[in-house]
């Protein structure tokens, strides 16, 4: 059987190998833009090679993270916009490893599709590359899987994996947290990449997505544009801050909102006191709450409410953070005693 016949046979089952080759060709320039000095391979091999510079980290600890974009992808399908979700994918991974103080080194992505359209894959990878550049890590590999019959032809899933490194002397150490330490909020850009199943229900997007195209005065843009706003990447500001002060802990506010994520960075015998009047809630969350008649507790247990990252700092370090990181502010304090998160 000739190669042409083999390709035609596979194509008849719904998998187009030639489209895969074209997708790789289109994405190469975007991937190359992410390469850092440690990259030792090009795309197309069986594994991505990266040489770790141990002169900067004599006692390196690797910190790994993986995540996806979730049902936010449904909005990308509805709006036929695919160049931002890659940023979300990177952000969800690197924002997790930075909570340990680790600097992301490499990233890999996985795209599974019902039908491989090279230009769509290029748009997705373009976003992944943009996120990697912002986070300072190299996109050294990935996988694009065409899976007809498993995914609808117009849909795909997107997931990522990152490896960061931190010297053991630079690990954030929450055992140093004491009562009275401050909780400093770093602002989010919107819903980020969690809670979209509830968002879709609130706005009835599975039945009618016309509201995505309507201009919302409170948002200053269409609802769809606000919801698709990529997740903020906190790597650079947090690494810069950690060079100047002691960051005791950090919490990435993802699924589970305040109630699930802030306690993850605190010692078991301490809790967070959050002052509701101090939370700078984004208008998008006010709109979601009003439209869906959602109780306040559920909002803070689902969404980031405008806070994408929370840092635990002593008073002096907090003052440095407030002067260094745009939009940051004091959200609350740490108190002795169990209790997770208390909203006041």
Confidence class of residue 280 from pLDDT cuts 50, 70 and 90? very high
End of a domain among 149, 170, 191? Answer: 170
Residues 123 and 237 in one domain: no
Residues 103 and 204 in one domain: no
pLDDT of residue 16: 67
Residues 325 and 252 in one domain: yes
Asked whether residue 12 carries a pLDDT value surpassing 70, the answer given is no
End of a domain among 115, 137, 170? Answer: 170
pLDDT of residue 3: 46
Residues 265 and 289 in one domain: yes
pLDDT of residue 14: 63
pLDDT digits (tens, 9 = 90+) for 17-50: 777 778 788 788 888 888 888 889 887 778 889 8
Residues 223 and 268 in one domain: yes
pLDDT digits (tens, 9 = 90+) for 315-338: 999 999 999 999 999 999 999 998
- To the nearest whole number, what is the mean pLDDT of the chain? 92
Confidence class of residue 9 from pLDDT cuts 50, 70 and 90? low
Confidence class of residue 15 from pLDDT cuts 50, 70 and 90? low
| Total count of domains within the chain | 2
Residues 218 and 178 in one domain: yes
pLDDT of residue 21: 72
Residues 228 and 211 in one domain: yes
- What is the three-state SS of the chain? CCHHHHHHHHHHCCCCHHHHHHHHHHHHHHHHCCCCCCECCCCCCCCCCECCCCCCCCCEEEEEEEEECCCHHHHHHHHCCCCCHHHHHHHHHHHHHHHHCCEEEEEEEEEEECCCCHHHHHHHHHHHHHHHHHHCCEEEEEEEEECECCECCCCEEEEEEEEEEEEHHHCCCHHHCCCCCEEEEEECCCCCCCCHHHHHHHCCCCCCCHHHHCEECCCCEEHHHHHHCCCCCCHHHHHHHHCCCCCCEEEECCCCHHHHHHHHHCCCCEEEEECHHHCCCCHHHHHHHHHHCCCHHHHHCCCCCCEEEEEEECHHHHHHHHHHCCCCEEEEEEEECCCCEEEC
Higher confidence at residue 8 or residue 122?
122
Structural domain of 89: 3-170
Residues 146 and 194 in one domain: no
End of a domain among 110, 143, 170? Answer: 170
Residues 41 and 54 in one domain: yes
Residues 162 and 208 in one domain: no
Asked whether residue 168 carries a pLDDT value surpassing 90, the answer given is yes
Residues 276-280, mean pLDDT to the nearest whole number: 95
Residues 189 and 102 in one domain: no
Percent of the chain with pLDDT over 70: 96
Q: Domain of 309: which CATH number? A: 3.90.650.10
Q: Domain of 98: which CATH number? A: 3.30.1330.10
pLDDT digits (tens, 9 = 90+) for 73-94: 999 999 999 999 999 999 999 9
Residues 19 and 131 in one domain: yes
């Amino acid at each position: 059987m000739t190669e042409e016949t083999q390709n035609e046979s596979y194509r008849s089952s719904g998998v187009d190998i030639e489209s895969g080759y074209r997708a790789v060709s289109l994405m190469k320039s975007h991937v190359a833009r992410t390469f850092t000095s440690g990259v030792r391979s090009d795309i197309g091999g069986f594994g991505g090679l990266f040489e770790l510079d141990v002169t900067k980290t004599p006692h390196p600890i690797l910190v790994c993270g993986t995540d996806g974009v979730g049902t936010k992808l449904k909005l990308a399908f509805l709006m036929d916009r695919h160049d931002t979700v890659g940023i979300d994918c990177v952000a969800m991974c690197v924002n997790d490893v930075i909570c340990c103080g680790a600097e992301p080194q490499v990233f890999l992505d996985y795209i599974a599709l019902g039908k491989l359209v090279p230009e769509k894959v290029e748009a997705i990878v373009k976003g992944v590359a943009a996120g990697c550049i912002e986070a300072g890590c190299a996109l050294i590999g990935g996988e694009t899987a065409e899976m007809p019959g498993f995914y609808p032809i117009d849909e795909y899933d997107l997931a990522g994996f990152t490896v960061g490194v931190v010297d053991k002397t630079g690990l954030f150490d929450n055992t140093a947290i004491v009562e009275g330490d401050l909780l400093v909020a770093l602002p989010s850009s919107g819903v980020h990449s969690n809670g979209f199943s509830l968002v879709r229900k609130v706005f009835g997007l599975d039945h009618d997505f016309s509201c995505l195209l309507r201009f919302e005065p409170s948002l200053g843009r269409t609802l769809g544009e606000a919801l698709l706003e990529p997740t903020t990447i906190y790597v650079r500001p947090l690494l810069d801050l950690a060079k100047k002060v002691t960051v005791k802990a950090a919490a990435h506010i993802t699924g589970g909102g305040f109630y699930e994520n802030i306690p993850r960075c605190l010692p078991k015998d301490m809790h967070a006191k959050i002052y509701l009047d101090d939370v700078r809630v984004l208008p998008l969350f006010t709109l979601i709450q009003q439209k869906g008649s959602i109780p306040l507790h559920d909002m803070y247990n689902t969404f980031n409410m405008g806070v994408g990252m929370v840092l635990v700092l002593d008073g002096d370090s907090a003052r440095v953070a407030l002067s260094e990181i745009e939009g940051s502010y004091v959200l609350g304090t740490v108190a002795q005693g169990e209790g997770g998160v208390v909203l006041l």
